[in-house]
Structure 1
Amino acid sequence: MINIYDTANQMEQDLRKTDEYQALKAAYQDLKADEKAYACFNKLHEYQGKLQQKQMQGETITEADFKTLQDLSQEANQYPSLMALMEKEQAINSLLDELSKIIFSPLQDIYHEA
């Protein structure tokens, strides 16, 4: 019998060894070393969380919410270390999307059988 959790645990360990993960980890350390950029990152991250929570509770995201998010994003653009982190996040998200497609392909096969 196959233990899919062993495979998942191995994948978790392998992910930590990828270039994308190592680059993200290094970018995060660089960001933390830049006090102002790290504070901006925390504000942006916290606000995004508030908007997600608002959305999950069925509340409307207002123009003011979008304006605040836009302002925080523009502030983030001023910090090279924060921009580098976002770039590395995109790279690892691309990797995770590819892995997700592979993992879920058996389910897609079920629904696309002729």
Structure 2
Amino acid sequence: MANFYDDVNKLAEDLKQTPEYQALEKAIDEVKNSPENLKLYQRMDALQRKIMAARQAGQPMTDEMKKEYEEVNKAVSDSDLLKKMINEEQKLYKIIGDIQQAVTKSVGELYEELSENKK
């Protein structure tokens, strides 16, 4: 049996060498070095966790949560550093999505034979 864990670990290390990873790392450092932006990021992160916890518990967002979400979202959209970080993150996740698609392609092909369209 192939030891694909070694390959995956190598891929993870190779990912760190991509321009996209390095750009995200730089953008994160810039946010960390800006107290105002770091505080805003932490507020956004805490709010996202709160919203996810409510959803997992089957609870709707409260009016207070909606209001805070709108405030945080507006502040983030006004922050060049946070917009840059989010943009760099999206570029990196595009690569990760491509990798995931390549890895799972063979599994999808197995199920194609079950499709009604294949009859």
Distance 2:102 2:10 in 1: 16
Distance 1:93 1:75 in 2: 23
What is the CA deviation profile of residues 51-86 of structure 1, one whole-angstrom value per residue up to 9, with x for unaligned ones? 112112222224442332121010112221111101
Q: Which consecutive residues of structure 1, in runs of 5 or more, have no partner in the other structure?
A: none
Structure 2 counterpart SS, 1:36: helix
Distance 1:39 1:3 in 2: 43
- Match for residue 7 of structure 2? 7
1:92 counterpart = 2:97: no
Distance 1:95 1:53 in 2: 28
Distance 2:21 2:42 in 1: 20
Could you say what the CA RMSD is over the residues aligned between the two structures, in angstroms? 1.3
Q: Which consecutive residues of structure 2, in runs of 5 or more, have no partner in the other structure?
A: none
Q: Which has the larger radius of gyration?
A: 2
Letter in 2 for 1:42: Q
Aligned length: 114
Letter in 2 for 1:16: K
Question: How much identity, in percent, do the aligned residues show?
Answer: 22
Which stretch shows the higher mean deviation, 7-16 or 63-72? 63-72
Structure 2 counterpart SS, 1:93: helix
1:17 counterpart = 2:17: yes
- Match for residue 44 of structure 2? 44
Letter in 2 for 1:44: M
Structure 1 counterpart SS, 2:59: coil
Structure 2 counterpart SS, 1:52: helix
Letter in 2 for 1:18: T
TM-score where L is the length of structure 2: 0.88
